[in-house]
């Protein structure tokens, strides 16, 4: 089996590439090292992949590649590449989001038309929902993103669907709910909180810390991709979440217990684009894909803390 993983040097793409190699796939990885966070971290993510003879790394942007050529013998496309980050997506930065999240997705789908790709699995996001009227968030809710990032991820989903409808390209969108674990991006809360507690630095919380999130351990998200690949489904959107509904304040308490130190917390005003709560109904993924999260928040956080300690001491 041959797979293409876009964004293979990133947090989720690197773990997914490793898992596919374990399953015996030949993996082509594409990543252009966009400068949202340091390239050194992405090089670290790539390290276990680089030496594998079944892994081919292409360090270019999806926007500048001959994708027809790359997709020649590819069976499955795992499209993880994107400009991530909700707060960063306002103002002039939006162009980076339209290029890497919308245009790059359209170019990839367009190239699939001339290929024998069996399925495209698209990394979507809970941010497509915005602030819903009632929780849990269901795929049948009307998506109304409250950030430009969410708009760009929703556009990607729509592109997947319309290329399915019009050109028969099988594509599934997995709406990830806040993924965490080793290699988590440095701009994400658990990574920032852990480094701050370890180094006696202040943690900044947007709002009163009572906002809740459904956190998903990265292995569960990777498993969802494998289940989506294997499933008979040819189209559709799926919530992929961990099942926790935890306040930011409670997450800090768990981190304090794991690290054995008190956090220094400062609350500042809520940021534009942040939703108040996320909590997923994952019954569709359970029914159609057999998805069930396996890793508890505490267990997953212990692994992330262990990883941050190991890289901080390098």
In this structure, what token pair is assigned to residue 75? 């069976």
Beta strands 264-268 and 237-240 are unpaired
Interacting residue with ligand NAD among 4, 5, 11, 18 (CB under 6 A): 11
Interacting residue with ligand NAD among 32, 49, 102, 222 (CB under 6 A): 32
In this structure, what token pair is assigned to residue 189? 């809360």
Q: Binding marks (x or -) toward ligand NAD, 64..103, rule CB under 6 A?
A: ----------------xxxxx---------------x---
Residue nearest to ligand NAD (CB): 10
From 36, 122, 149, 291, active-site residue: 149
128 lies in the binding site for ligand NAD (CB under 6 A): no
Instruction: Indicate the residue among 24 and 228 with the shorter CB distance to ligand NAD.
Output: 228
d(C-alpha 279, C-alpha 212), whole Å: 8
Sheet strands side by side (includes 237-240): 55-58, 26-30, 2-6, 76-79, 119-125, 171-176, 237-240
Least distance to ligand NAD, CB of residue 312, Å: 19
Give yes or no for a contact between 29 and 5, defined as CB atoms under 8 angstroms apart: yes
Least distance to ligand NAD, CB of residue 96, Å: 9
Instruction: Indicate the residue among 82 and 259 with the shorter CB distance to ligand NAD.
Output: 82
Annotation says 122 is catalytic: no
Using DSSP, state whether 91 is helix, strand or coil. Answer: helix
Long-range Cβ contacts of 88-95 (<8 Å, 24+ apart): 88/36, 88/149, 88/187, 89/147, 89/148, 89/149, 89/152, 89/273, 90/147, 90/148, 90/272, 90/273, 94/148, 94/152
240 lies in the binding site for ligand NAD (CB under 6 A): no
Instruction: Indicate the residue among 24 and 138 with the shorter CB distance to ligand NAD.
Output: 138
In this structure, what token pair is assigned to residue 258? 């794991």
In this structure, what token pair is assigned to residue 158? 């729509």
DSSP-assigned states of every residue in 19-74: HHHHTT-EEEEE----TTS-HHHHHHHHHHHHT-TTEEEE-S-GGGS-HHHHTTT-
Least distance to ligand NAD, CB of residue 165, Å: 22
179 lies in the binding site for ligand NAD (CB under 6 A): yes
20 lies in the binding site for ligand NAD (CB under 6 A): no
**Stretch of 7-15, 161-169, 225-233, 260-268 lying at the interface with ligand NAD (CB under 6 A):** 7-15
Interacting residue with ligand NAD among 3, 4, 10, 203 (CB under 6 A): 10
Residues lying near ligand NAD in the complex (CB under 6 A): 6-7, 9-13, 30-34, 36, 42, 61-63, 80-84, 100, 104, 123, 125, 153, 176, 178-179, 185
For the annotated catalytic residues, the residue numbers are 149
């Amino acid at each position: 089996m041959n797979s293409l993983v876009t964004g293979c040097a990133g947090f989720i793409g690197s773990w997914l590439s490793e898992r596919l190699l374990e399953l015996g796939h030949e993996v082509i990885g594409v990543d252009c090292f966009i400068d949202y966070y340091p390239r050194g971290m992405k090089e670290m993510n790539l390290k276990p992949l680089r030496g594998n003879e079944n892994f081919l790394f292409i360090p270019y942007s999806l926007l500048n590649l001959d994708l027809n050529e790359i997709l020649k013998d590819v069976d499955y496309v795992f499209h993880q590449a994107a400009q991530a980050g909700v707060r960063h997506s306002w103002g002039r930065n939006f162009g980076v989001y339209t290029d890497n999240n919308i245009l790059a997705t359209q170019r990839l789908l367009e190239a699939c038309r001339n290929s024998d790709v069996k399925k495209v699995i698209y990394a979507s996001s809970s941010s497509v929902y915005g602030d819903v009227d009632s929780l849990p968030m269901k795929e049948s809710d009307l998506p109304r993103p409250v950030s430009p990032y969410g708009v760009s991820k929703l556009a990607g989903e729509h592109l997947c669907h319309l290329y399915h409808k019009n050109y028969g390209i099988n594509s599934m969108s997995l709406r990830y709910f806040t993924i965490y674990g080793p290699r988590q991006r440095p701009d994400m809360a658990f990574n920032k909180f852990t480094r701050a507690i370890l180094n006696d630095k202040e943690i900044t919380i947007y709002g009163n810390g009572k906002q809740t999130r459904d956190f998903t351990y990265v292995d569960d998200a990777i498993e969802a991709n494998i289940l989506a690949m294997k499933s008979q489904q040819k189209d559709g959107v799926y919530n992929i979440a961990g099942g926790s509904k935890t306040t930011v304040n409670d997450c800090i308490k768990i981190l304090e217990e794991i690290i054995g130190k008190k956090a220094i917390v400062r609350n500042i005003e809520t940021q534009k684009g942040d939703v108040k709560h996320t909590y997923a109904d994952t019954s569709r993924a359970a029914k159609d894909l057999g998805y069930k999260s396996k890793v508890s928040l505490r267990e997953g956080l212990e692994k992330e803390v262990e990883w941050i300690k190991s890289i901080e001491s390098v």
